[in-house]
Amino acid sequence: MKFNFLELDNGIRIIHKPTKNEVAHCGFIIDTGSRDEDIATNGITHFIEHAIFKGTKKRKAFHILNRIDNVGGEINAFTTKENTSIYASFTKMYFERALELLTDILFNSTYPEYEINKEKDVIIDEIFSYQDSPYEQIYDDFEEIIFKEHPLGMNILGTVEGVKKINRTKILDFIKTQYLTSQIVFSVVGDIPFKKIEKLAKKYLNDIPQKNTTTQRYPFNNYQPTQKEITKDISQTHCMIGNVAYPAFDKNKNGLILLNNILGGPAMNSRLNLGIREKYGFTYNIESSYNVFSDIGLFYIYLSTDQKNIAKSIALVNRELKILRDKKISSSQLQKAKQQIIGQIALSEENNCNVMLEMGKSLIVYNKVDGLKETYEKINAITENQLLGIANEIFDENKLSSLTYLPK
């Protein structure tokens, strides 16, 4: 697949994947997330994601929301540990409208104090809603256990006390130091001529002042396996089990992605689903995942079950992990696993909005975007011995941490 690429004089990069669809997608992906905060600013990246829609030098919040909605499009944003994304989906004839609007809200938002005060209540309510959902809260609490006293362990939403202290001055100071043009990508997927994208990008983005100051992210290198139980007013038991894992540039990253898919990925034939849910009926929700950060990764397994079944469920999880540590996957099993994940990747390419966001993130982290051919080649290069070595390193029972929510 051909990708079109352009870097402006101010450091902002543009990447485009052509399609034949009537609907197009574009967005800014910024290399700033909650891990770039400290205790005093925890939650500010997510707060900015909300407040950025509350008014610019030439638009009020009402006009921002209606600019794309009035033509049937959608505008949205989200924050992760390492990135902020602001994006829109629309019919392709409205590309200039989307680009101009996204540029306006990213670079010209005024962050009115009265809007900030209103948004505090919205975000505090969002925090409380997460606290009411053990399925969602346990992920944040588990990361806090794994990355204790490090920004990666801080909640993306922040705390109620911290959100109350956010003001316009703090927002502008954070943007000034973190929203660097050299760390911003504008990503486009759609049936739009690249010459048009190039012309409009220069029209709206060329005059953005260059900001290329290098920012420092503190590495995490102090992992200690921890086991913790918390009693809560809940009806089910929830459990997380996991370990730190490979970062973005590690040679074993793709192997762990494949191994995780075999163990507890989204397919119904994953080993955890077949060996625990389907065989014994102990749990409705069981999955594993692998989050990749720039300098570290996190592997984890999540399950929920009745309290009477938690010990048996954890024992079955440990059995599956031991099998992967002790027994090499056969050549035929490996080939089927590769076919499966390649098929999943192909299906995911149908979601062009996600493709647009992933292109931007890949350009930020790797300074390139692999096509499907390159991706498939990396998957097909994975060996049985590599997976066995990964399993013995990441699934080592002496390195695993756990967090369990127990009903009162």
Q: Which residues of 213-240 are buried (b: 16+ CB within 10 A; e: fewer)?
A: eeeeeeebeebebeeeeeeeebebbbbb
Q: How far apart are CA 317 and CA 402, in angstroms?
A: 12
Q: How far apart are CA 194 and CA 201, in angstroms?
A: 10
Fold of 227-407: Cytochrome Bc1 Complex; Chain A, domain 1 (3.30.830)
**Taking a C-beta distance cutoff of 8 angstroms, is the pair 192, 367 a contact?**
no
Q: How far apart are CA 311 and CA 314, in angstroms?
A: 5
Beta strands in 42-162 (DSSP E): 74-79, 84-91
- pTM, full prediction: 0.94
Confidence (pLDDT) at 1: 62
Q: How far apart are CA 86 and CA 95, in angstroms?
A: 15
Sign, Cα dihedral of 171, 176, 177, 180: positive
CA distances from 177 to 49, 123, 372, 408 (A): 16, 23, 36, 45
Confidence (pLDDT) at 216: 80
- Looking up tokens 């059995």 gives 319
Local confidence pLDDT in tens for the 408 residues of the chain: 689 999 999 999 999 999 999 999 999 999 999 999 999 999 999 999 999 999 999 999 999 999 999 999 999 999 999 999 999 999 999 999 999 999 999 999 999 999 999 999 999 999 999 989 999 999 999 999 999 989 999 999 999 999 999 999 999 999 999 999 999 999 999 999 999 999 999 999 999 999 887 778 889 999 999 999 999 999 999 999 999 999 999 999 999 999 999 999 999 999 999 999 999 999 999 999 999 999 999 999 999 999 999 999 999 999 999 999 999 999 999 999 999 999 999 999 999 999 999 999 999 999 999 999 999 999 999 999 999 999 999 999 999 999 999 998
- Angle formed at CA 273 by CA 272 and CA 278, multiple of 5 degrees: 125
Residue 289 phi/psi, 5° resolution?
A: -155, 160
The domain locations on the chain are 4-205, 227-407
Q: How far apart are CA 274 and CA 277, in angstroms?
A: 6
Confidence (pLDDT) at 213: 75
Cβ-in-10-Å burial (0-12, 13-18, 19+) of 187 comes to: buried
Q: Say yes or no: do domains 4-205 and 227-407 share a fold.
A: yes
4-205: CATH, from 3.30.70.360, 3.10.580.10, 3.30.830.10, 3.20.20.30? 3.30.830.10
Confidence (pLDDT) at 407: 95
